[in-house]
Amino acid sequence: MSQVTEPGFAGKPHGHGEAHGDHSHDAQGTFRSYMIGFVLSVILTAIPFWLVMANVLNDTLLTSIVIMALAAVQIVVHMIYFLHMNTKSEGGWTFLALLFTLTLVVITLVGSIWVMYHMDQNMMPTSPQEALQRP
């Protein structure tokens, strides 16, 4: 690794692999934080699997809602424990970008579901027998 000196660092050499600037080391995860994130991710994956395979709730709509809620929680766990996202990193801009992205995703998904629901409701009802008899 080559050694480079920069002005302002009093001639202290540093390698290219080292961090430049004033970055805190809190953004790096510890083994403990990675293990907490891993265990939470496994649990948040196993619960929906168990709900579906054991047919625990006996209602597909309720099961779907619970699975979606657990998926949202798992996304948050990944962002906190693996991506190290918080309101303090990079002056809050990563969190603001995340909120903007989530807003766009929610608008897109809700809009798509709304359009598909109304298209389904406004289609002409036909039974399979009527569809076969049409020219």
> How far is residue 15 from each of residues 21, 75, 90, 101, 102, measured CA to CA in Å?
13, 35, 23, 36, 38
- Answer whether 80's CB lies under 8 Å from 68's CB: no
Give residue 66's pLDDT band: very low, low, confident or very high (50, 70, 90): very high
**Predicted confidence (pLDDT) at residue 104 exceeds the cutoff of 80:** yes
Question: Any idea what the Cα angle at residue 114 is, between residues 110 and 117, rounded to 5°?
Answer: 135
Question: Which 8-state DSSP code applies to residue 25?
Answer: G
Q: What is the pLDDT of residues 25-50, one digit of tens each?
A: 455 779 999 999 999 999 999 999 99
| DSSP H/E element including 101 | helix 93-122
Q: What is the pTM of this model?
A: 0.57
- Answer whether 13's CB lies under 8 Å from 4's CB: yes
Find the range with the poorest average confidence among 28-37, 59-68, 85-94: 85-94
